């Protein structure tokens, strides 16, 4: 009985990471968000002013923005600014799972879609996992390969050309 009740509130979030944009899909209800991978920070104290598309729009308003950070824009690896990347993922999860009466932390599937030459290093896998856990994930899975659909994730039907880094979702 409790497992059935728990499953009702469980969410799996599938997140595709690229240097210039990030998309997230709530697999259970089909909600989808796509944002520019940018965070604008206050010039005086470095606090976050805007995230995603609104941060991109704030680039023209120089009076409030000290700098724009692109958390996934490093030339060699998927994460450039770890803390800002974690905040960005937390923001995406909030957009998909707006506060509800009963809050549940999601399972996250992270899918870096670029900068994969030579595969992911152990450090990159660990950084991605810790970033997602810091953003509120209860479990984290990292996938490289073709993009996954909600149907594939729900059916656990993984393309043969892809690879899990660590465990695969149970």
**Residue whose structure tokens are 């060699």:** 76
**Quick one: which H or E segment has residue 123?**
helix 122-134
Mean pLDDT per 10-residue interval, the chain, length 170 residues: 47 94 92 89 77 71 68 91 92 81 81 90 95 94 95 92 88
Instruction: Domain ranges for the chain, please list them.
Output: 2-35+78-164
pLDDT recorded at residue 89: 94
CATH 3.40.50.360 for domain 2-35+78-164, yes or no, is no
pLDDT recorded at residue 1: 42
Distance between CA atoms of residues 144 and 121, nearest Å: 12
Locate 23 and state its tokens.
């998309």
**Residue whose structure tokens are 């659909």:** 149
pLDDT recorded at residue 7: 47
Distance between CA atoms of residues 74 and 158, nearest Å: 29
- Residue among 169, 111, 115 at smallest CA distance from 145: 111
pLDDT recorded at residue 4: 41
């Amino acid at each position: 009985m409790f497992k059935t009740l728990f499953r009702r509130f469980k969410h799996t979030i599938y997140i595709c990471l690229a240097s210039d944009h990030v998309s997230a899909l709530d697999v259970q209800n089909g909600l989808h968000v796509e944002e520019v991978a940018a965070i604008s920070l206050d010039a005086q104290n470095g606090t976050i002013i805007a995230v995603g598309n609104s941060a991109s729009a704030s680039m023209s308003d120089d009076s409030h923005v000290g700098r724009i950070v692109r958390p996934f824009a490093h030339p060699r690896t998927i994460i450039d600014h770890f803390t800002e990347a974690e905040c960005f993922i937390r923001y995406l999860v909030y957009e998909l799972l707006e506060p509800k009466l009963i809050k549940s932390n999601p399972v996250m599937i992270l899918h870096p879609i670029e900068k994969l030459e030579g595969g992911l290093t152990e450090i990159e896998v660990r950084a991605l996992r810790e970033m997602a856990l810091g953003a509120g994930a209860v479990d984290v899975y990292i996938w490289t390969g073709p993009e996954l659909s909600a149907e594939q994730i729900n059916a656990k039907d993984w393309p043969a050309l892809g690879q899990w880094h660590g465990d695969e979702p149970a």
